[in-house]
Structure 1
Amino acid sequence: MAYERAVGGGRATLDAALQRAVRRASVMRQCFYVVVLLVALAGQVSGAVEALGIPLAAAIPAVGALELGGIVVLANADVRRRLGERAIGSRLLSAAIAVGAVAFNWLAHDDHLLGGFFSGMSALGYLVWLTHTENQRRDRLRATGDLPPTTPAYEVFAHWVRHPLLTLRAKSLAKADSGLGLYTSIAAARAETRRDRRQRAIAKVLHRKIRSAVDPKTADIALAVYDLDEIAARLARRADYDGLTDLIAADLAPARLAGLAPGEEPQAVRPVEPAPVEPTPVAEDLEPVEVTEVLPMRPAVVPSAALTEPSEEFRVIEAVRREWEELQRPSRATTRAADGDSPRRRSRTTARLPVPEQPPAPEADAEPEAAPASPAARRERSLRSRVHAALDSHAPAGGYSDSNQLVELVADVLKLDDVERMSAFTYVQTWQRDAARVPQQAGRA
């Protein structure tokens, strides 16, 4: 009872303050309108006297009728609207009279700045009266129940920007129920949104279930007859929350997250005990050691048996290195032969290099030397020498241009592998160059 008296007393105080504010606003509005009307009439009278040449005594009632004509017609339209009519004609005539008064104030003065001031005051007076009339009409409609009550002032960002549809529904609910405030209307709108979503889901499932047994028209009739809210309420009463909670808890079990098999228990992590540390003997307990001689350290000798066989890459690199050395030797020897072994043309470096002895030419009746059978025997002789010997013995006369055929010939005769075949291609080319120079040197001789 004390709370009701306090609430009632506060509401009475609020109503009394509201009534005082309404009376004060009405007095201020009337004073403001009188001042605005006098300024507008002064502008109308001065314009009529200057532009139309009407005497002052006749101009005052004429322009007064023009200025007040819009207000009079607007009041007549308000009365007709109270009786339930729309009064469109009276409202349009009132607006036309107000526009004529504003235009006359603008055109009747040569100084357009002064005419604009009087025109603005005339338009301001008409708009203030129009606003007051519309406010009174809405208050009467709200008092009779023909207009919904005012809605709460919702926040711009938190309500209209973030949740525009929800706020619009809350505003509609507040219009329907004047007891809903700002936050209660938002809560009611959220509850209604959840209910609509739940009803749509239930209707979709129910329609599919019934349509599977009967025709679609019967399913539509069932949806129209059954109360979906009642179905939702019974489903909520039968919901197994414990079972659903167990399903989620099973997925969040530590064993499942750790990837263990069903029934397997996680092993406990035992702390690792540190190994016992033996005490370091004190320097006093150690016996002194006499150093007689310091021997220099020598690198350890690795037995040859411990070395592994060289890799294929090492063999290729070593073969290329040997090929480069072999290529350098014949080029220098050939240069000396072309220069006639002249001491003036021979450089110091070339003079110091030993000239390799050319192997004796094979006799006509002697049989060609057979290729060694084992790989160890093939390595004893230089690959270049063997390739040149094979070409001297088996190359056809005049067939020096095709290097690939000569390589195939040498590979077949000497039984070369892939690495030696690559090296033999270079030696075949050197043999071809040497064979081509012999006829040229014979021609010069």
Structure 2
Amino acid sequence: MTLDERHRQQRVGQRTRHSRRPTVEHAAWVFYAVAAIGSTIGQIWVGVQTPPWPDTLHWWWRATFVAPFAIVIDLGGAVTAAFADWRQRLGESAYGWRILSAATVTVGVTTNIVGHADVAYLAVVFGGLGVFAYAIWLMHSAARRRDALRAAGKLADTAPAFGIGQWWREPAVTRRARSLAVAQRLPLHQSLDIARQQLRDEKRRAALASHVETLIRSRHDDPVRADIAATTLDLDAVAATLTAQADVPGWARVIGADLTPPTPNSDVDADAERNPAALPVGPMPPADVLRRVPQDQASYDRWRQLWAELKANPDLERAEFAQRHNISLRQVQRISRIGASGLLDSPLTLIDRVAQLGGNNGHARQHPASAS
């Protein structure tokens, strides 16, 4: 998902939220009004019945006297909560306003519950209205405060919903992905992939740093100097540098060469070991190339060694190989061509093999004559 698409989705989501918010806000305020009126009625009811009023004083006069106090209690809880929310938006803790708001609501709820204790239904209804309304008000104001802080850039964006299954399977990966998604505004799956890679790299780098520390300590006989060296160096930085310098393709070639299946040349090598004088059956190179095969044993062994190295590293550049061994590129090409024909598989030089084969053939021709 591109950045433009992400911003487009965010704008669509914001428009959707803004279009739904007025309806939700209106319903919330209607609920607060009904709950406040209900709580106030319950407190007025208690005020009309509980105090020792004169019998000659009608109930509506009692309600008139009690109503201001009941209204002040409910309104005070809302006003102090609004003040607390306002100061919290400015970055303050507003503990005083929050404590005063909770104390005011507690007085109103306690009045309703204790005053209607003889009728459980009325105690639950009037007391529950106050508790329920105040709890929803706290959550509502907290949500509005977070929206305002987020719009002002004072609050981090929300992270994607990873789901309970993802948290259960990979808690460490999900925790890292959540931080990455919030910090870099990454989508869900990309943040998970990056988190997995980071944790793998950190685990490998920590193991490598441990080995580096062991190596550094082994270079010093004095344990104090070993501690100084191991503490002075940034082992994580050394491990990261070693990882960057690692010849991964080279190791892959070496390991891959050991895992390749046997080739027909392996059978030729086995035949050469069993019968060093045997000549290869494959296509022979031209005469001008054959004349370049060394006749002395030392030079021939040198060619065999170079061919074995070429055969073990088929992806190695010929120019690099020639420069490494201080020989010409043409000579490397000759060694490759002659080695591919099988003429370098035997430990005997070509002339020695021809001579040995000639002697064996002479014995084979003379043996039947001697038998007759």
Counterpart in the other structure of 1:73: 80
Contact 1:203–1:223 (8 Å) recurs in 2: no
What's the counterpart of residue 20 of structure 1? Answer: 19
Aligned to 1:310: none
User: Of 184, 208, 217, which residue of structure 2 is paired with 1:202?
Assistant: 208
Partners of 1:167 and 1:227 lie apart in 2 by 29
Q: What count of residue pairs does the alignment treat as equivalent?
A: 251
Please point out which of 173, 182, 188 is paired with 1:175: 182
What is the CA deviation profile of residues 353-388 of structure 1, one whole-angstrom value per residue up to 9, with x for unaligned ones? xxxxxxxxxxxxxxxxxxxxxxxxxxxxxxxxxxxx
- Equivalent residues in 2 for 1:194-343 (5 A)? 194-214=200-220, 215-224=226-235, 226-237=237-248, 239-249=250-260, 263=270
Q: Among 100, 110, 124, which residue is 2:132 paired with?
A: 124
Alignment of 1:70-149 (within 5 A): 70-109=77-116, 110-149=118-157
CA positional deviation for 1:119: 0.4
The one-letter amino acid of 1:25's match is: V
Distance 2:199 2:247 in 1: 17
Change (3 A) 1:263 1:61: farther
Residues 7 and 181 of structure 1: CA distance in aligned 2, closer, same or farther (over 3 Å): closer
Please tell me the root mean square deviation across aligned C-alpha atoms, in Å: 2.7
- What one-letter code is carried by the residue in structure 1 that aligns with 2:120? H
Corresponding position of 1:155: 163
Cα distance in structure 1, aligned partners of 2:9 and 2:181: 23
Amino acid aligned to 1:16: R
Alpha-carbon shift at residue 142 of structure 1 (Å): 2.2
1:393-428 alpha-carbon deviations (Å, 9 max, x no partner): xxxxxxxxxxxxxxxxxxxxxxxxxxxxxxxxxxxx
Please give the alpha-carbon distance, in whole angstroms, between the structure 1 residues aligned to 2:9 and 2:180.
Answer: 26
How much does 1:220 deviate?
2.7
Runs of at least 5 residues in structure 1 that lack an aligned partner in the other structure: 255-261, 265-445
**1:206 touches 1:223 (CA, 8 Å); kept in 2?**
no
Q: Is the 8 A contact 1:151 1:171 kept in 2?
A: yes
Q: Match for 1:76: what amino acid?
A: F
CA contact (8 A) 2:212 2:235 kept: no
SS at match of 1:59: helix
Aligned partners of 1:236 and 1:140: how far apart in 2? Answer: 53
Deviation of the 1:226 alpha carbon: 3.5
| Post-superposition offset of 1:171 | 1.4
Aligned in 2, Cα 1:24/1:132: closer, same or farther, shift over 3 Å?
same
Q: Which moved more, 1:240-249 or 1:8-17?
A: 8-17
Deviations 1:302-335 (A, max 9, x none): xxxxxxxxxxxxxxxxxxxxxxxxxxxxxxxxxx
Question: Which one has the bigger helix percentage?
Answer: 2
**Aligned position for 1:322:** none
Looking at CA atoms only, which structure, 1 or 2, has the larger radius of gyration? 1
The verdict on how the C-alpha distance between 1:173 and 1:129 changes in structure 2, with shifts beyond 3 A counting, is same
What do residues 258-287 of structure 1 show as CA deviations (whole Å, max 9, x unaligned)? xxxx959xxxxxxxxxxxxxxxxxxxxxxx
Alpha-carbon distance change, 10 to 162 in structure 1, aligned in 2, over 3 angstroms: closer
> 2:325 maps to which residue?
none
The answer to whether the 8 Å contact 1:207/1:219 transfers is: yes
Q: Provide closer, same or farther for how the CA distance between residues 165 and 13 of structure 1 changes in structure 2, counting only shifts above 3 A.
A: closer
Cα contact 1:174–1:180 (8 A) shared by 2 = yes
Output one character per residue of 1:91-143: Cα deviation in whole Å (capped at 9) or x when no partner.
Answer: 11111111111111011123122111110011111111111111122223323
> Separation in 1 of the partners of 2:182 and 2:7?
24
User: Whole-Å Cα distance in 1 between the matches of residues 17 and 41 of structure 2?
Assistant: 36
CA contact (8 A) 2:209 2:235 kept: no
Q: Distance in 1 between matches of 2:91 and 2:214?
A: 51
Aligned to 2:298: none
Residue 227 to residue 58, structure 1, CA distance change in 2 (3 Å): farther
Higher-RCO chain (CA-CA 8 Å, sequence separation at least 6): 2
Deviation at 1:198, TM superposition (A): 1.6
Which residue of 1 is the match for residue 48 of structure 2? 49
Does the CA-based 8 Å contact 2:209-2:236 persist in structure 1? no
Structure 1 distance, partners of 2:200, 2:236, is: 21
% identical equivalent positions: 29
The DSSP-based 3-state class of the residue aligned with 1:55 is: helix
Query: Residue 154 of structure 1 contacts residue 182 of structure 1 at CA under 8 Å; is this kept in 2?
Result: yes
SS at match of 1:29: helix
Instruction: Provide the rounded CA distance (Å) in 2 between the counterparts of 1:213 and 1:4.
Output: 52
- TM-superposed CA distance for 1:186, in Å, is 0.9
Task: Tell me the equivalent position of 2:324.
Answer: none
Amino acid aligned to 2:142: E
1:49, distance to aligned residue in structure 2 (A)? 0.8
SS of residue matched to 2:155: coil
CA deviation after TM superposition for structure 1 residue 5, in Å: 8.2
The one-letter code of the counterpart of 2:186 is L
Structure 2: gaps spanning 5 or more residues? 54-60, 221-225, 264-268, 272-372
Q: Is the 8 A contact 2:48 2:66 kept in 1?
A: yes
The aligned amino acid for 2:243 is: A
Alpha-carbon distance between aligned partners in 2 of 1:225 and 1:196, rounded to the nearest angstrom: 9
Deviation of the 1:72 alpha carbon: 1.1
Partners of 1:236 and 1:137 in 2: CA distance: 54
TM-score (norm 2): 0.61
Deviation at 1:13, TM superposition (A): 3.8
